[in-house]
Amino acid sequence: MRALPDTDPRSLTVQANIHCSFCNGGYLQAGVNGNIPLQVHFSWLFLPWHRWYLYFHERILGSLIGDPGFSLLYWNWDDQVYGGNEIPELFTRVNTSLYDAKRRAEVQPPTIVPLAATTLPNMSASIVTNQNLNNMYQSVVTASTASLFMGGALRAGVDLSNVTVLNNTLGGSLENGLHTAIHYYVGDPTTQLLQNMGNFGTAARDPLFYSHHSNVDRLWEVWRLNMPDGERADHTDPDFLNAEFVFYDENANMVRVKVSDVLDNQKLGVYYKKGRSDHVWINYSPPASTNESAVPVALSGGVPLVGESPLNGTISIGTNFSAIVKRPSEEKPSKTLEVLTIQGVQVARDQFVALVAFVNIPWATENTTTDSAEYLGTFNIVPDPAKSSLNTNVKYEIGDNLKRIGLEKEAEVVISLVVTGSNATVTIQGLKIDYEDQ
């Protein structure tokens, strides 16, 4: 694949450019008025698009080596027991086709790859491990709805850099919490834009990209089939099922494919063995680091009450921001989740940035660890200076956290947001807690 000329759609260069085109506005949406870029991140398109992309990439590799049974390896970075949380040694052998020189020097094996942007370089391995387990737990186990986990609707005509709070898309926790952290930590910070893995334009030049995404794909399946609360459901909206993309197949022919045809891995001939250590994060029980409501101390410290958009205007987060947020006053209906929505997050995309959310820790900072029940999740955004900004909603299941801390009876809670990774500008339009259907 590396040896093929750049004019061949099966070459690694063109394979990487396909990712770049779908992710950085190389294509325009079909059948809508105006020039609206197509973007396969930050919404429900993320998982199915990348599954199709891996499917063709794997078939191309198999056909190039004459082995139709060839299978991509997945990098099980979620594994905190058997060493999956290091960059796989296979990819670090200089002068082999799996090697890429543009990777972060500080996370070479045996360094553990963090899944949380607040992880400081000199944290102990046990804190990093617990933070990773908690990130897995919060992003996969308690994110039980398709919207929370896969991301929300992106419908024809919506331009992600130019939306209102009402038609903002919603990025999912697998993408924005876990997947993007890996992109950030593997990319080389001494290059412009964290090349190769740290921005969507160059990420797929690194062969590790495909093994990273194979694990993302595997986790989608684990989320759907292997959670303690039983089988979970993908989106069923026709706008999701009927979305179409084009790819090159192993014969270098262009083919058109649909989201609805990629939802069943078995039909694609893709099987994942049960992960040896999945149960460790599935059953992770994050300890609470606080034991009473922080609302009184936050109130006396001047923390403001923040409500739903448009009541607040635009709130600038700075490096950190705390607010008191009301919980719904009515009883929680069964088959619902209690969910925090960070409304209308707007991020300048000139550099990597992460927005980290906590409950009951007023004035949290980038040094606040993410291994406890107070941690809600992280929204990581890779840089893309060609786009001025991204507008999105961010949601976290919060009921499980409140229960673990013992705050189920409280009428209001303290929410803290921390900006880390860079000092990029982040603003929001509101904070809202309500019940959402499961």
Q: What share of the chain is helix, strand, coil (3-state, %, to 5)?
A: 30, 20, 50
DSSP code at position 355: E
CA 124/CA 119 separation, integer angstroms: 10
- Which is closer to ligand C2O, CB of 175 or CB of 278? 175
Give the x/- contact pattern for ligand C2O in 36-55, rule: CB under 6 A: -----x--------x-----
Query: 3-class DSSP state for residue 109?
Result: coil
In angstroms, give the least distance from the CB of 48 to ligand C2O. Answer: 12
Does residue 212 carry a catalytic annotation?
Answer: no
CB 322 → ligand C2O: shortest distance, Å? 31
Site size for ligand C2O, by CB under 6 A? 9
Asked if 305 contacts 315 with a C-beta cutoff of 8 angstroms, the reply is no
Q: Which of 10, 19, 104, 327 binds ligand C2O (CB under 6 A)?
A: 19
Handedness of CA 414, 369, 197, 55 (dihedral sign): negative
How far is Cα 422 from Cα 369, in angstroms, rounded to an integer? Answer: 17
Window 346-385: contact mask with ligand C2O (x via CB under 6 A): ----------------------------------------
* Concatenated DSSP letters of 120-175: -TT--HHHHHHHHHHHHIIIIIS--SHHHHHB----TT--TTS--TTT-EEB-HII
Name the residue type at position 197.
Answer: M
The residue (of 46 and 358) whose beta carbon lies closer to ligand C2O is: 46
Radius of gyration of the chain (CA): 21
Distance of CA 89 to the CA centre of its chain: 24
Cα–Cα distance for residue pair 289/18, rounded to 1 Å? 45
Which 3 state secondary structure label does DSSP give 87?
Answer: coil
Using CB under 6 A as the binding rule, the residues of this chain from 377 to 436 that contact ligand C2O are none
Binding mask 175-214 for ligand C2O (x = CB under 6 A): ----x---x----------------x--x---------x-
Q: How far is the CB of 204 from ligand C2O (least distance, A)?
A: 7
CA dihedral 323, 302, 408, 380 (to 10 degrees): 30
CB nearer ligand C2O, residue 161 or residue 289: 161
Q: Which is nearer to ligand C2O, 384 or 397 (CB)?
A: 384
Minimal distance, residue 340 CB to ligand C2O, in Å: 25
C-beta of 268: minimal distance to ligand C2O in Å? 18
Task: Select which of 22, 42, 46, 50 is catalytic.
Answer: 50
57 is annotated as an active-site residue: no
Kindly tell me which of 54 and 413 has the beta carbon lying closer to ligand C2O. 54
279 given a catalytic annotation:
no
Residues classed as catalytic? 19, 41, 50, 179, 183, 200, 213
Q: Which residues bind ligand C2O (CB under 6 A)?
A: 19, 23, 41, 50, 179, 183, 200, 203, 213
